[in-house]
Amino acid sequence: MADKANAETDKVDIGYYDTEGWTVLKTPDFKLSKEAAIAIADDVYLQIFGEDYLAETVVGIHEIDDGTCYYIYRYREPLIPGGDISIVVRKSDGKIMRIVAEE
């Protein structure tokens, strides 16, 4: 899935629309927690695989190299390579950047 969003420049703004357009009141330095990122990813896993998948798997999470997103994956123990789906969630606003199916 291609996404043209830029995790460095996309921010969460607080503001309002008026006759001049969008007026920003402030831009908070928002960083999504790991727990919130897992909850977002689990909602996707639930829609794709159902409740049994969540109950039968273990969650793993780490930051991607540039520190802008969390990489969340679920797997059954023992870990068997292949067939996994991972979800990349942006830390600045919780947007799902990618769903990666691994072979």
pLDDT tens string for the chain (103 positions)? 344 445 455 666 778 888 988 888 876 677 889 999 999 999 999 999 999 999 999 999 999 989 899 999 998 877 766 667 899 999 988 999 999 887 5
Across the chain, the runs of DSSP E, i.e. the strands, are 14-18, 21-26, 58-63, 69-75, 85-90, 96-101
The DSSP 8-state label assigned to residue 97 in this structure reads E
In the chain, alpha helices (H): 34-49, 51-56
Indicate the pTM of the whole model.
Answer: 0.68
Q: What's the rounded Cα separation, in Å, for the pair 2 and 55?
A: 30
The DSSP 8-state label assigned to residue 9 in this structure reads T
